[in-house]
Amino acid sequence: MKLRHFISLSFFILISVCIAITIGFSFTSSLSPISEDDEQEGLSEQIIINFSHVVAENTPKGLAAQRFADLVRDKTEGHVKVEVFPNGMLFSDGEEIDALRRGDVEMVAPAFSKLTSLVPQWQVLDLPFLFRTDKDVERAFTGEMGKILLELLDEHDIKGLTLWNNGFKQMTSNRGPLIMPEDFVGQRFRIMPSNVLREQFEMMGAIPNRIGFNQVYQNLETNFLDGQENTISNIYSKRFYQVQNYMTISNHGYLGYGVLINKKFWDDIPKEYQEDILEASNETSDWLFEQSVLMNNQQLVRIRQQSNIQIYELSEQEHEQWRKYFEPLYKKFEGDIGNELMDEVKKNQSKSYSRGS
């Protein structure tokens, strides 16, 4: 190796090591209790909760995480501090649940689908047309269904605090309008890791691909993928609409989040602060029910203004045709999901589909 190359290589290694040490130091120090805090005279020990998520700050989950952090600070008078890390800057969506269980991060809020391989009963929330209206979602999240799902996490070293909502998913593609299930034949679609979602696309003759959220844009742009399904706020904030020509407002599935904290870390938090944290997470959920609907509506308007994407809205009749088409998935997954949750589904749907809500 020439001397000049050797010197450049050594310099590069030296700089990399310094950067790694600095990053490691700042991350570790944020995990340690703080014994002194200039702004909070008298705080002898502050509990730090690092909260990692994968979406942008201007999304329902991004705003909820920040609101939750503010509420926790106010309720605990600064004794508990939530540090929010958006955009997958700490962990990608493929890593965050394992990182939480190992205790490498204290809080995450993955989309439901990402919990389905750990807890198969969570597949219930991926069933197409599970909810018809936002009211149905709220009733299920705050009722028995939400309670059962959160309790199931206990045995996996996870304390489930609450459920947060984002919104109904819509379909986008580059290959043509998606009006009937046969329009999906042969198209490569990005899905979140979930067997229900895989089956949903396979039923239509599409080719599902499990791809991390922060790789979707690039794969759409290079045409490795033809399409994807997501909420308007995710389609907007990640600019998927700029690399897709067609969007169908199908409301065929729902995307929300489990708000999770490492169980061992949780058990060590003094009871009074646990109550404050729970209250903060639930107050954030209540706020989010309205906020996310507003946000998805506003961002749909912006997508219409800022792009030439062709938007098709399914008619009531088409919507009903899609719903019937996917009905066999309920039978197929009822074994994994279990009777208790399937009974809740029936109860919720009978309140919505037959009587309106």
Minimal distance, residue 272 CB to ligand LMR, in Å:
31
Minimal distance, residue 56 CB to ligand LMR, in Å:
9
Which phi and psi (to 5°) does residue 26 adopt?
-70, -35
* Helix (H) or strand (E) segment spanning residue 200: helix 195-203
Applying CB under 6 A, the residues found at the interface with ligand LMR are 54-55, 61, 93, 111, 166, 192, 213, 230, 234
Minimal distance, residue 192 CB to ligand LMR, in Å:
5
DSSP summary character for residue 258:
E
Minimal distance, residue 314 CB to ligand LMR, in Å:
21
Q: How far apart are CA 16 and CA 22, in angstroms?
A: 10
Q: Nearer Cβ to ligand LMR, position 76 or 170?
A: 170
DSSP three-state, residue 297:
helix
Report how far apart, in Å, the C-alpha atoms of 133 and of each of 53, 221, 286 are: 26, 32, 16
Q: Nearer Cβ to ligand LMR, position 62 or 146?
A: 62
Q: Nearer Cβ to ligand LMR, position 111 or 243?
A: 111
Report how far apart, in Å, the C-alpha atoms of 340 and of each of 145, 181, 238, 336 are: 9, 31, 37, 11
Q: Nearer Cβ to ligand LMR, position 55 or 342?
A: 55
Minimal distance, residue 143 CB to ligand LMR, in Å:
23
**8 A C-beta contact, residue 111 and residue 257:** yes
Q: Nearer Cβ to ligand LMR, position 47 or 189?
A: 189
How many CB atoms lie under 10 A from the CB of residue 341? 20
Minimal distance, residue 14 CB to ligand LMR, in Å:
38
DSSP 128-170: TTS-SSHHHHHHHHHSHHHHHHHHTTGGGTEEEEEEEEEEEEE
Minimal distance, residue 243 CB to ligand LMR, in Å:
15
Give which of 136, 166, 164, 171 is closest to 150, Cα–Cα: 164
Give which of 316, 312, 168 is closest to 233, Cα–Cα: 168
Q: Nearer Cβ to ligand LMR, position 76 or 237?
A: 237
Residue type for position 353: Y
Q: Nearer Cβ to ligand LMR, position 213 or 246?
A: 213
Kindly state the tokens that stand for 57.
């700050």
| 3-state percent breakdown (helix, strand, coil) of the chain, nearest 5 | 55, 20, 30
Q: Which residue is nearest to ligand LMR (CB)?
A: 111
DSSP three-state, residue 315:
coil
Q: Nearer Cβ to ligand LMR, position 121 or 292?
A: 292
Minimal distance, residue 110 CB to ligand LMR, in Å:
7
